């Protein structure tokens, strides 16, 4: 009998114990893989190359406070600024308040929106159609597919923040590197429908002429409006997105605490019994125990990482949370890291007990056999 076959038979000689071990490690690695993936998506991945040149300028106090529309031309005049576009959150209701019907709506300038957001792609004829229709809108391709929207369809959105409703014509469908779960319409619609807010916008999207100039442009914008009634806060697009995520609480601390708890739990999973089969060398006994532990840990880790990949895929399309997980998936590096953690945990948890067992002589070993 080969060592591999012996390890396999020995690992599953107690099927209940082995099954519980695999399930425990699989569940722990599912949580760990999920948290690593979310961490990577939120705090490590920087987005597309085009997004590295974008900044968001908002009210320094809070996003709920507006900025004057004349800031736009002042920002445009600064060195290093290539394009500027206004955006305002509408926050309306489509059909009903069910999570599956929730998506983001922004008023903006059709003339310059795609000049700033160059990583969003739309055909020239659809862009022209949007620019010519004051009641037109463009929608994310994945969102259109989800709701079955087609060019020419009419969308009715009830205003929840503004005392007005939107009746929009779908004039374009754009694609993006990651699903945006958004639609964009002409900001003039808000100006005309709610004159009290005319001349105000929510925030500005700013395109710098190069990624290297982004910090300098951000500083110049905020210095320009430092001593005014409505000062600004300008940050990279990635930092702005993390600000939205931070509204859920200290996500970073939550993820780290879960990861540490999972790793600690895995270390407590393994149980190593004293080897009852005699006739092996100390090195062979040690190798047998460690191989068994690592094999079970890797099996559980593989099940857990595959389960996490499926779970995240479902969550990315689930109503209510797809805003935050749209486009997120478990990458090969994350899976390799999780399997590596499983193997290390299996090795660490088994090595000391296995080493102790391998040092027992036959007489002492028999004394411990009940």
Residue 245, domain member (yes or no): no
Inter-residue contact 187 to 134 (CB < 8 Å): no
Q: What is the mean pLDDT of residues 8-13?
A: 56
Residue 266, domain member (yes or no): yes
Residue 350, domain member (yes or no): yes
| Residues 100 and 213 placed together within one structural domain of the fold | yes
Place of tokens 């990458």: 331
Inter-residue contact 182 to 103 (CB < 8 Å): yes
User: Cβ of 160: how many Cβ atoms within 10 Å?
Assistant: 12
C-alpha–C-alpha distance, residues 229 and 272, integer Å: 69
Inter-residue contact 86 to 153 (CB < 8 Å): no
Number of domains in the chain: 2
To the nearest 5 percent, what fractions of the chain are helix, strand and coil? 50, 15, 30
| Residues 173 and 268 placed together within one structural domain of the fold | no
The two three-digit tokens of residue 74, written as one number:
């002042």
- The pLDDT confidence band at residue 248, using thresholds 50, 70 and 90, is very low
- The pLDDT confidence band at residue 328, using thresholds 50, 70 and 90, is low
Q: What is the pLDDT of residue 311?
A: 72
| Residues 116 and 218 placed together within one structural domain of the fold | yes
| Residues 85 and 160 placed together within one structural domain of the fold | yes
Q: What is the pLDDT of residue 279?
A: 47
Q: What is the mean pLDDT of residues 216-230?
A: 93
Residue 61, domain member (yes or no): no
Q: pLDDT for 335-370, tens place per residue?
A: 777 777 777 766 666 665 555 555 554 444 434 444
Strands 182-186 vs 104-108: parallel, antiparallel or unpaired: parallel
| Residues 148 and 199 placed together within one structural domain of the fold | yes
Inter-residue contact 242 to 43 (CB < 8 Å): yes
Residue 59, domain member (yes or no): no
| Residues 157 and 36 placed together within one structural domain of the fold | no
| Residues 42 and 76 placed together within one structural domain of the fold | no
Q: For the whole model, what pTM was predicted?
A: 0.63
Residue 151, domain member (yes or no): yes
- The pLDDT confidence band at residue 267, using thresholds 50, 70 and 90, is very low
Q: What is the mean pLDDT of residues 113-121?
A: 93
Q: Cα dihedral sign for 108, 112, 115, 121?
A: positive
| Residues 37 and 129 placed together within one structural domain of the fold | no
C-alpha–C-alpha distance, residues 138 and 140, integer Å: 7
Residue 58, domain member (yes or no): no
| Residues 280 and 159 placed together within one structural domain of the fold | no
Q: Note down the domain range covering 360.
A: 3-46+250-367
Q: What is the pLDDT of residue 217?
A: 94
| Residues 33 and 172 placed together within one structural domain of the fold | no
Residue 183, domain member (yes or no): yes
C-alpha–C-alpha distance, residues 63 and 135, integer Å: 26
């Amino acid at each position: 009998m080969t060592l591999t076959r012996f390890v396999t038979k020995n690992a599953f000689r107690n099927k209940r114990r082995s099954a519980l071990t695999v399930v425990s490690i699989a569940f722990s690695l599912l949580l760990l893989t999920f948290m690593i993936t979310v961490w990577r998506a939120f705090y490590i991945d920087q987005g597309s190359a085009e997004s590295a040149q974008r900044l968001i300028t908002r009210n320094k106090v809070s996003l709920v406070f507006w900025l004057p529309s004349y800031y736009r031309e002042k920002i445009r005049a600064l060195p290093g600024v290539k394009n500027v576009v206004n955006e305002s959150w509408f926050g309306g209701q489509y059909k009903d308040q069910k999570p599956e019907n929730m998506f983001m709506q922004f008023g903006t300038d059709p003339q310059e929106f795609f000049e700033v957001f160059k990583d969003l792609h739309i055909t020239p004829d659809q862009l022209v159609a949007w620019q010519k229709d004051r009641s037109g809108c463009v929608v994310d391709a994945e969102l259109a597919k989800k709701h079955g929207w087609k060019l020419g369809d009419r969308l009715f959105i009830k205003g929840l923040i503004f005392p007005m409703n939107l009746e929009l014509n779908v004039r374009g469908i754009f694609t993006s590197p990651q699903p945006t779960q958004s639609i964009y319409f002409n900001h003039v619609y808000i100006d005309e429908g709610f004159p009290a807010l005319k001349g105000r916008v929510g925030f500005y999207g700013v395109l710098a002429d190069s990624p290297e100039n982004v910090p300098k442009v951000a500083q110049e914008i905020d210095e320009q409006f430092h001593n005014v009634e409505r000062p600004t806060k300008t940050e990279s697009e990635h930092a702005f997105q993390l600000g939205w995520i931070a509204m859920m609480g200290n996500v970073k601390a939550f993820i780290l605490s879960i990861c540490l708890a999972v790793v600690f739990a895995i270390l407590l999973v393994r149980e190593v019994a004293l080897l009852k089969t005699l006739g092996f060398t100390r090195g062979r006994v040690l190798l047998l125990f460690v191989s068994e532990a690592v094999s079970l840990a890797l099996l559980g880790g593989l099940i857990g990482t595959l389960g996490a990949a499926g779970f995240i895929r479902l969550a990315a399309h689930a109503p209510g949370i797809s805003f935050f997980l749209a486009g997120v998936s478990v990458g090969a590096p994350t899976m390799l890291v999780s399997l590596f953690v499983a193997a290390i945990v299996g090795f660490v948890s088994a090595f000391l007990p296995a080493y102790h067992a391998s040092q027992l002589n036959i007489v002492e070993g028999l004394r411990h056999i009940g």
